[in-house]
Structure 1
Amino acid sequence: MVETVNLGSVKAEVLRKRIKHMHLGVFPPEGAVRISAPEDVALDTIRVFAISKLAWIKQQQRKMKAQPREPEREFIDRESHYVWGRRYLLQIQELAVPASIALSGKNMRMTVRPGTPTDKRQALLEAWYRTQVREAAQPLLRKWQAIMGVQPGKLLVQRMKTKWGSCNPKTGLIRLNTDLAKKPPEHLEYVIVHELAHLIEASHGERFVATMDMFLPKWQLYRQELNSLPVRHEVWGSVR
């Protein structure tokens, strides 16, 4: 049974887990609130914790509702797609050869076999974006781990609905959002420095801010730019 706490105009879903501390998240597209809580914590205690975060919750919800979204893609000729912040027009070539994507001038040439359906074209572009992020991220990780004196673990690039990246401070695992390939290159670099900073400070507290200020003084500008750009069109189910 799913528990909820009522915060007036806001309702929060409570998920019980084998953890020591409570964690609160606000998720797109409408700002659904989810609290992960230890199994033995009273619901009233969880409600008090959520109320203490209510101003932040509402701020995040306003941001999510205001953020522009990309139109739904059909993967047809002359459709706009973005690579590293630049706009390209899609050109579909149907040939009996292996599928591929190449940039030429202002065009993105997608070669697919005749009759390839929309979902397969989308999957091809997703895989291509994933490769772009991975190839661009590797030298940036080497650069910044030397500058910051940290040692990241494995790198995963994947489709992420709610984050541009994440870091597990215990394992050093870095995750990056495939959609970063659509954004200007400096935004990928900002996300990488942000995640590596979590190997120095796990939270987003004062020490984390000081670390970011020291290594990437313009990081707050990059964060603002990145979060003001359109995010992908998405069909959203319930957040789990």
Structure 2
Amino acid sequence: MITEPLHQITVGKWVVNVVRKDIKNLHLGVYPPDGRLRVAAPLTVTDDAIRLLVVSKLAWIKKQVAQFQGQQRQSKRQYVSGESHYLKGQRYLLNVIYHNAAPKVIIRNKTYIDLYVRSGSSEEKRHEVMTEWYRQNLKEQIPVLVDKWQPVMGVEVRAWGIKQMKTKWGTCSIAAQRIWLNLNLAQKPEHCLEYIVVHEMVHLLERHHNEQFTAYMDKFMPPWRNYRDELNQFLLNHSDWSY
């Protein structure tokens, strides 16, 4: 796909990031945490046409920005006892336990996440252990979901991966038939993870977020809008973003 470099235009007080691609329609997005505006536009569309689009959507833009600004944001985690941490949408209290053995993480009494680390372990190391634990949780869930949805949707996922992403919950490489999932989905309810898996797999049927894409989502997962909205309502940590 042909893509031109990103540039910016101004519409009143709004700065709009514009990227032109070999696509048919304009696509406007508002992104957290502060309401960044981005327009994907066909190669031949003028800046004036993009400005008209933004002006016509100002009410919607303001609503989206207000929602993002109204979301409470968690402070950066320090991985110390007493902090709140989440797994599959459930809140737990972190309990750091020092021992002279390999690190491990255990859920206890449906209330605590016991993080076992060596004495003198740094914040970076505690973060590393928790991150790997979250990654392993997703590695257990994702193959089950992919296997569930492949025969339903009539597509094949040749590969999948997990990584930290700042602006998306997931991505899809159509040519490679590979999907990537945001590591932070380990903290969200299982149905939200399933929604993102389905969303990315639908891209194997339709590249763009157009009417056909929406029709596929409605067919395969009728409540998908509820799951999308639920994801957007969660507390955001320092690396969580909406999708």
1:88 is aligned to: 92
* Structure 1 letter corresponding to 2:67: K
Return the offset for 1:221: 1.3
* Structure 1 letter corresponding to 2:113: M
Q: Is the 8 A contact 1:5 1:47 kept in 2?
A: no
Tell whether 2:212 aligns with 1:207: yes
Return the offset for 1:66: 2.6
CA gap 1:29/1:111 in 2 versus in 1, 3 angstroms = same
Secondary structure class of the residue paired with 2:236: coil
Q: 1:115 pairs with 108, 113, 120, which one?
A: 120
Q: For structure 2, which runs of at least 5 residues remain unmatched after alignment? A: none
* Structure 2 letter corresponding to 1:117: S
> What is the root-mean-square deviation in Å for CA atoms of aligned residues?
2.7
Return the offset for 1:100: 1.4
* Structure 1 letter corresponding to 2:47: I
Q: Is the 8 A contact 2:184 2:240 kept in 1?
A: no
Tell whether 2:78 aligns with 1:74: yes
Q: Is the 8 A contact 2:27 2:39 kept in 1?
A: yes
1:188 is aligned to: 193
Q: Is the 8 A contact 1:37 1:46 kept in 2?
A: no
Return the offset for 1:27: 3.4
1:147 is aligned to: 152
Q: Provide the rounded CA distance (Å) in 2 between the counterparts of 1:110 and 1:175.
A: 27
Tell whether 2:155 aligns with 1:157: no
Tell whether 2:70 aligns with 1:49: no
2:35 is aligned to: 31
| 1:108-141 Cα shifts (integer Å, max 9, x gaps) | 1111111111122112212211221121011100
| 1:49-86 Cα shifts (integer Å, max 9, x gaps) | 24414515444433322333223322111221111111
Secondary structure class of the residue paired with 2:185: helix
CA gap 1:143/1:70 in 2 versus in 1, 3 angstroms = same
CA gap 1:87/1:209 in 2 versus in 1, 3 angstroms = same
Return the offset for 1:47: 4.4
1:135 is aligned to: 140
Q: Is the 8 A contact 1:68 1:228 kept in 2?
A: no
Q: 47-56 or 212-221: which moved more?
A: 47-56
Q: Provide the rounded CA distance (Å) in 2 between the counterparts of 1:226 and 1:109.
A: 26
Q: TM-score, normalised by structure 1?
A: 0.84
Alignment size in residue pairs: 231
* Structure 2 letter corresponding to 1:148: M
Q: Provide the rounded CA distance (Å) in 2 between the counterparts of 1:217 and 1:146.
A: 18
| 1:157-213 Cα shifts (integer Å, max 9, x gaps) | 111122111212232221111111111111111111111111111122221111111
Return the offset for 1:90: 1.0
Q: Provide the rounded CA distance (Å) in 2 between the counterparts of 1:2 and 1:202.
A: 20
1:20 is aligned to: 22
Secondary structure class of the residue paired with 2:161: strand
Q: Is the 8 A contact 2:166 2:240 kept in 1?
A: no
Q: For structure 1, which runs of at least 5 residues remain unmatched after alignment? A: none
Q: Provide the rounded CA distance (Å) in 2 between the counterparts of 1:219 and 1:14.
A: 28
Q: Provide the rounded CA distance (Å) in 2 between the counterparts of 1:50 and 1:24.
A: 11
Secondary structure class of the residue paired with 1:125: helix
Q: Is the 8 A contact 2:11 2:54 kept in 1?
A: no
Secondary structure class of the residue paired with 2:34: coil
